[in-house]
Amino acid sequence: MKNLGIKYISILLAIIYTSCNNGIDTTSIGIEDTYTVPRLQKLILSTGAAGESFKWEIISKNGETSILSEGRECIFIAEEVGTYSLVLTINDNGEEVIQTSAIIVLTEEIEYKSSMTKVIEFNPAPGQFINDLPEYEEGDTKERIRQKTEQYLLNGSMVSLGSFGGYIVVGFDHSILNKEGKDFFLGSNAFTGSAEPGTVSVSIDRNNNSIADDEWYELAGSEYNKSETIKNYQVTYYRPEEGKTPIPGKNGVVDVEYIKWEDNMGGTGFIEQNSFSNHSLDYWPKWSSNNSLTFSGTLLASNYTIKSNGQYFLDKYEWGYADNYANKDTENNSFDISWAVNGNGEKVELRCIDFIKVSTALLQNCGQIGETSTEFLGAKDLNL
C-alpha cells in the first residue's frame, strides 16, 4: 500500500504495448493497487499513455458508478470516508486496457474549519482605506501586510481592496466541493445604497504548491454577458508626486487629480482624494516602492446615481458579485462553483476548488464618499 495522506498526488502512468494474447500488455501500467487520502483532499491522476481515448470511472462504496474524466487527467475527491474503486479504461486502435485501483478515504487528522484559514495574496489597488484596513505601520513589508490581512480576517475584521483591480486570494484547510446549489459564502460590508461589487474567481491548486498560480475561472454573474461589461480591462495607476499641489473639489474632495490612471483602451483619469471619512490621506500602498501599479480584470458599468440631495446611491447588481448585498443576505452573498467560465467565456466543470479571488470591479469616483473599493470580510465553505 502507498500511503498518500496529502492534498495532491500526481502519478504518471506509463503504458508499454507489447505482443500478448489481446495485443496489449497490461502488466506495466504504472498505477498503484491502493491509495490512501484524507476526505476533501484531492487525488490528481494523469497519464502520458498512448491511446485514442481515456475514461476514468469511480465506483462508490455504495456501488454507484460515475465518470470522473474522459481526458488524460482526473481529479478524485470524496466527502465520505470509505473505499472507492477507480477504473481507468484506455482505448487504442479498438483495443482496451482496463486497470483498477482501490482508493481508501480516511477522516482528517485535524477537523476541518468551514471558514477560510489563510490569505494567499493581498494586492490592493490605490484607495482611501488600504493603509487602514489593515493598518500600515512603519517598516511593514508586503509579506507583513499579507500576514496582517490574514489576522484581520481570521479575527472577523474586514479589509479594503482599493480601486479597480485590487484583489485578495484566500484558501482553506481543505478543497471545497462543487455540489448542487451554492457552495461558499463571502462576507462584506455592503448595505442599501452602498454596493461596491467585486468579481469572484476560483482556482484549483493542481500543482500543490499552495500558490495560486494555476488557471483562474471567473464566476459569470448577472453582468458578465452584458454589452457594457468590459473583459480583460487593464489599468495602470501612477504614484502622485511628492509635494504635488492639490486641486480641490466640492463636498470634501481634497484633490480631484490625485492619482492618475491610464487604461488599455486609451482612457485616462484620476482617483480623487477626499477627507470625508476617518482614513489615511495617503492612498498609495505605503509598503510599495513602485511608481506605477497595473491591474487587470472585468470592468462593470458604473452603478451610482446622484440623488436630489447630492448624495451618491450605489445600487447592487442582480447576482454573482461580492460586496453587493447586505451581509445578512446569505443567499445573495453565496456563490455556485458551477457559474465558473474560462478565459474564453466557456462554461467549465470543476469538481472542487482550492482558492477564491475577489477583485474590485468598478473604476469610479463618488464625490464625498470617494472611489469605489470592494471590501472583504472572509469566506466560508457552505458544504462542510
Considering the domain boundaries, does residue 112 fall inside one? no
Tell me what percent of the chain is helix, strand and coil, each rounded to the nearest 5: 5, 40, 55
pLDDT above 50 for 274: yes
Maximum alpha-carbon separation in the chain: 87
The total of other beta-carbon atoms located within 10 Å of residue 239's CB is: 17
Same domain, 249 and 331: yes
Same domain, 179 and 216: yes
Cell of 104: 481508501
Cα dihedral 126/131/132/133 (nearest 10): 70
pLDDT above 50 for 6: no
Query: Residue 240: is the preceding peptide bond cis (ω within 30°)?
Result: no
pLDDT above 80 for 8: no
pLDDT above 80 for 132: yes
Domain of 319, in residue numbers: 118-381
Task: Give the type of residue at 346.
Answer: E
pLDDT above 50 for 13: no
Per-residue model confidence (pLDDT) at position 324: 98
Of the pLDDT bands very low, low, confident and very high (cuts 50, 70, 90), residue 31 is confident
Query: What is the C-alpha to C-alpha distance for residues 226 and 232, in angstroms, rounded to an integer?
Result: 14
Distances (CA, A) of 126 to 160, 219, 269: 10, 24, 14
| Per-residue exposure over 260-282, b if at least 16 CB sit within 10 Å of its own CB, e if not | bbbbeeeeeebbbbbeeeebeee
Per-residue model confidence (pLDDT) at position 4: 41
Of the pLDDT bands very low, low, confident and very high (cuts 50, 70, 90), residue 30 is low
Best CA proximity match to 164, nearest among 320, 269, 296: 296
Q: What are phi and psi of 144, to 5 degrees?
A: -65, -40
Calculate Rg over the CA atoms of the chain: 25
For range 300-316, the mean pLDDT:
95
Same domain, 37 and 136: no
Of the pLDDT bands very low, low, confident and very high (cuts 50, 70, 90), residue 21 is very low
Same domain, 345 and 281: yes
In tens, the pLDDT along 218-270 reads 999 999 999 999 999 999 999 999 989 999 998 889 999 999 999 999 999 99
Same domain, 221 and 277: yes
Considering the domain boundaries, does residue 113 fall inside one? no
In tens, the pLDDT along 93-131 reads 888 889 899 999 999 999 999 999 999 999 999 999 999
Same domain, 123 and 102: no
Same domain, 80 and 207: no
Is residue 266 left, alpha or beta, with left meaning phi > 0 and alpha meaning psi from -120 to 50? left
**Structural domains counted in the chain:** 2
